[in-house]
Structures are given as C-alpha cells and as structure tokens.
Amino acid sequence: MQSRANYLKAAPDVLQSMLALHMATRKSSLPPELLDLVDYRVSQINSCAFCLDMHSKDLRARGDTEQRLYMISAWRDAPHLYSPRERAALAWAEAVTRLVDQKVPDEVYDEARAEFSETELVQLTMAVISINGWNRLNIAFHTPAGNYKPSVK
C-alpha cells in the first residue's frame, strides 16, 4: 500500500492539537500499560496496521506477554489473562469505539465506574477518542506499518 501523504508534515499546526490530546492522556493518572492495551485493542477494531505495529511493540517493550497480545481480540473468553480493571477498560473502549445503536450500554458504564473514578473514566474516554483519531489518520493516508521502534524502556 502506497502512502498517500505525510500528515505530520502537511499540516503540523493542526496536528499539534492531536498531539496535545494524546500527551494529555499520557500524563493522566492512568498507567501507560493500560493505555497501550486500550490503544492496541481499538486499533485492532479499526484495522489500523500502523497503530497495531506501534502498540504491540510498546506493550512488548513494557513486558507484556505474547499470550495477552494474541488473545486480546477474545479477551472476554480469557478473563484469567486480564485484570478486572483491564477488562472494564477494554469493554469501555470497545463500546465508545463502536457506539452500537449510537450509545454506550449502561452495564458497560457501570462496570467501568466500578473500576475507575469519574476523572479516570473521562481520561480513559479521551484516550479512546485519541486513538480512534490516530487510527483514522493512519488509515486514510496509508501510513506504512512495520518500521516503528519503541521508545519505551
């Protein structure tokens, strides 16, 4: 797939707002491992190859296991691999990404609120909004995947 444009260079002033949102979510009280896990799952849902490459490498660099990466699309069937907090975050991220019938079900909200404070849930929602935006940019402009090097140590 041929790259269509380098959106970072084409509109750097506009991209600063996306980067600011992303950085704000990374400075939130949520652990980076949880945010990477959510980013990976949302990128799977959206079929964003660039972001899947990035977040799988970041998760591995943080020490996450291959088994958890391989099983994330079936996380509901492997509850022993993910903590209750991670499962609530994944359910919330999926619901916010898919918006089935234009809503997030009350039971998903209730599960998320049992694991996250109101502030954390807003932070998580903004992280989901951010990765959905990045997915759409990378998919629209055919950003090539495979060359990402994690900066996570």
Whole-number Å distance between alpha carbons of 133 and 113: 24
Instruction: Name the pTM for this structure.
Output: 0.92
For the chain, report the end-to-end CA distance as a whole number of angstroms. 31
Would you call 97 helix, strand, or coil by DSSP? Answer: helix
Per-residue pLDDT at 72 exceeds 80: yes
Average pLDDT over the chain reads 94
Using alpha carbons, select from 73, 74, 103, 107 the residue that is nearest to residue 88: 107
Nearest by Cα to 38 from 135, 138, 139: 135
Other Cβ atoms less than 10 A from the Cβ of 61: the count is: 14
Mean pLDDT to the nearest integer, 140-147: 91
- Summarised one tens digit per residue, pLDDT across range 102-115 is 999 999 999 999 99
* 3-class SS shares of the chain: helix, strand, coil, % to 5: 75, 0, 25
